[in-house]
Structure 1
Amino acid sequence: MFRRLTASVVLIWALGFVWFAVALPGPLPGTVRTDAIIVLTGSRGRIEHAIDVLARGKSPAVLVSGVDREVRPREFAAQFKVPPQLMRCCVTLGYRAYDTRSNAVEAAQWVAEHEAKSVRLVTADWHMRRAALEIARALPADVRLELDGVPSHPSFSILFLEYHKLLARHALNLWERFR
């Protein structure tokens, strides 16, 4: 009995990991419009993609969540080639977040201030599921969250760690719900 249960748990874990690693969330179609963009700092391509979506007029505003406190708007604009008028009107640098959970808090506050009802979440494909879980929990229920995964080539170790972080977050959610 114990061996069967253990084997079943290991099999479910392994199949879950294969699904997690193979079916990474991809980019949104270019036609999707939202009231706002939330982009989480981190791996390459995230901020560039969000600024491109903003510049193409698919959303009127972007929050870059998790910016280092030493980065100034002028430096940010130069690094990511953001035109001054776009930087002034439409880009908010969020300095309060330091991890995915604090990204969610920062994003929810910004979304409420901007009264957005639809949000495009931009992050790396391997990070998307956990980021979406955290942000969806923090946002009001009437806000539609669109997932825009930036394609990457994550290593096995990144996928392995992120899969376990996602499992841990789901377990914590269950614990909070039933205690």
Structure 2
Amino acid sequence: MLARGLALTFLGWVLGFLWFAVALPQPAGPGQADAVVVLTGGTGRVARGLEVLRRGWAGRMLVSGVDRDVKPHEFAVEYKVASAQMACCVTLGFQATDTMSNADETAAWVRSEKIGTLRVVTNDWHMRRALLELEQTLPEGVTLQADAVPTRPSLRTLFMEYHKLLARLVTRGWRG
């Protein structure tokens, strides 16, 4: 009986990992949202967020998890953001250091800005866990739109992220 349970658990783990690795979230197409949040930490994320902003698919943008040493004017120069757009539409968040604190920082910003629909930009392999954290933390009624930045993740990256997702699913109720 124990062997059968272990075999079924292992089979579930293998099938789950295959689904996780093969069916990665995709970029979103055109679509309106009140705002876009970019979770820092991967190539192409900020560029995608700015593209969403420039195309008018969102009116405001939060970049969550910006290094504390980055100055707003340095960000603007690096990403070619006009000062008027920085002033009206781009908020740099310096509090987050991981996915859970990205969710906390984003939730505080969403509350203060009264956001109803939020486009989430992160890498494809990171999107599922990011959405899980955001769904748990954001005010009730906020609609999320996943906008994954395509990558070519290594097997190691997929393996690690799959296990982080599983761990959060198991501990989900412990956060509050």
| TM-score, normalised with respect to structure 2 | 0.97
Aligned to 1:44: 43
**Are the structure 2 counterparts of residues 107 and 176 from structure 1 closer, same or farther at C-alpha, using a change threshold of 3 Å?**
closer
- Alignment partner, residue 119 of structure 1: 118
How far did 1:4 drift?
1.0
CA distance in 2, matches of 1:14, 1:150: 25
In structure 2, how many angstroms separate the alpha carbons of the residues matched to 1:12 and 1:106? 34
**Which residue does 1:57 correspond to in 2?**
56
Counterpart of 1:109 in structure 2 is: 108
Aligned sequence identity (%):
52
Query: Offset at 1:157?
Result: 0.4
Equivalent residue for 2:169?
Answer: 170
1:12 counterpart residue number: 12
Structure 2 letter corresponding to 1:72: K
Task: List gaps (5 residues or longer) in structure 2.
Answer: none
RMSD over equivalenced CA pairs, Å? 1.1
Alpha carbons of structure 1 residues 100 and 175: separation in structure 2 relative to 1, 3 Å: closer
Q: CA deviation at 1:176?
A: 6.4
Q: Show the counterpart of 2:21.
A: 21
- 2-structure distance, mates of 1:66, 1:84: 21
Q: Which runs of 4+ in 1 moved over 6 A?
A: none
Shift of 1:51: 0.4
Answer yes or no: is 1:95 the counterpart of 2:94.
yes
Amino acid paired to 2:146: L
| Distance in 2 of aligned mates of 1:113 and 1:140 | 11
- Closer, same or farther in 2 for the Cα pair 1:96/1:175, shift >3 Å? closer
Aligned residue in 2 for 1:35: 34
Q: If the length of structure 1 is used for normalisation, what is the TM-score?
A: 0.96
Equivalence for 2:138:
139
